[in-house]
Amino acid sequence: MPNPLSAFKALFPDPPLLVGDVVLVDGQMVRVELPDGAMITARGDASVGQRVFVRGDLVEGLAPTLTVVTIEV
């Protein structure tokens, strides 16, 4: 029999993996600008100007600096 809390958590999707550019660093907190212009705050190590992957409120690592293409559906 599965754990009820685990079963409940499985109903919710994982946060999406986002990519953005670091615009501000304050200790372990970074401010990231997403391609659509939105700003988010995340925890992690990064320098201003770096492109990073962010999931939830955590910087997961450096992202390659490629051209961003936004497709509207």
Q: 15-73 — its CATH code?
A: 2.30.30.140
Beta-carbon contacts of 56 under 8 Å, excluding residues fewer than 6 positions away, are 15, 42
- The whole-angstrom separation of Cα 62 and Cα 73 is 28
Domain spans of the chain? Answer: 15-73
On whether the CB atoms of residues 45 and 19 are closer than 8 A, the answer is: no
The predicted-structure confidence for 20-46, as pLDDT tens digits, reads as follows 999 999 999 999 999 999 999 999 999
Q: What is the pLDDT of residue 23?
A: 98
Q: What's the Rg (C-alpha) of the chain? A: 15
Q: State the pTM of this model.
A: 0.78
